[in-house]
């Protein structure tokens, strides 16, 4: 069965960095896009970033552009989200999700359980 497992969350000071990981299993990882979506405490969902199945395209929300970098390692079925210059407003549960494919932009058909990032001094 399809599984996505996030890790790497924790408490970090403003201005510091953190790297999240998403390990996938149960499907042919190298043929799917992977998204990151976040949810601040008590708030709605915010799309963050996506990486194409072959790494050829990467897109970011304006709120994280220039600070976050998405990458993938198909040998380890893993996607990373490198988060630099963290701000208090980046505090959220971060979910990775599989892009369903079938169109240039796609919806997310499977989600991980999320990892909490808290940015606080």
Partner 1 sequence: DIQMTQSPSTLSASVGDRVTITCRASQSISSWLAWYQQKPGKAPKVLIYETSSLESGVPSRFSGSGSGTEFTLTISSLQPDDFATYYCQQYNSFWTFGQGTRVEIK
**Three-state DSSP state, 108:** strand
CA distance linking residue 89 with residue 119, whole number of Å: 8
Q: Is 88 in the site for partner 1 (CB under 8 A)?
A: no
Q: Is 100 in the site for partner 1 (CB under 8 A)?
A: yes
Selected from 27, 52, 53, 59, the binder of partner 1 by CB under 8 A is 59
Selected from 45, 85, 89, 120, the binder of partner 1 by CB under 8 A is 45
Nearest Cα to Cα of residue 92 among 66, 65, 115? 115
Q: Is 41 in the site for partner 1 (CB under 8 A)?
A: no
Q: Is 44 in the site for partner 1 (CB under 8 A)?
A: yes
The contact set with partner 1 (CB under 8 A) reads 35, 37, 44-47, 50, 59, 62, 95, 97, 100, 103, 105-109, 111-114
């Amino acid at each position: 069965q399809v599984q996505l497992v996030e890790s790497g969350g924790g408490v970090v000071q403003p201005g510091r960095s953190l790297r999240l990981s998403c390990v996938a299993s149960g499907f042919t990882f190298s043929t799917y896009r992977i998204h990151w979506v976040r949810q601040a405490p008590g708030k709605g969902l915010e799309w963050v970033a996506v990486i194409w199945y072959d790494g050829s395209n990467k897109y970011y929300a304006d709120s994280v552009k220039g600070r976050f970098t998405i990458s993938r390692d198909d040998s380890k079925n893993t996607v990373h989200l490198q988060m630099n210059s963290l701000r208090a407003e980046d505090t959220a549960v971060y979910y990775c999700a599989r892009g369903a494919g079938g169109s240039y932009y796609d919806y997310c058909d499977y989600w991980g359980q999320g990892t909490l990032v808290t940015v606080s001094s």
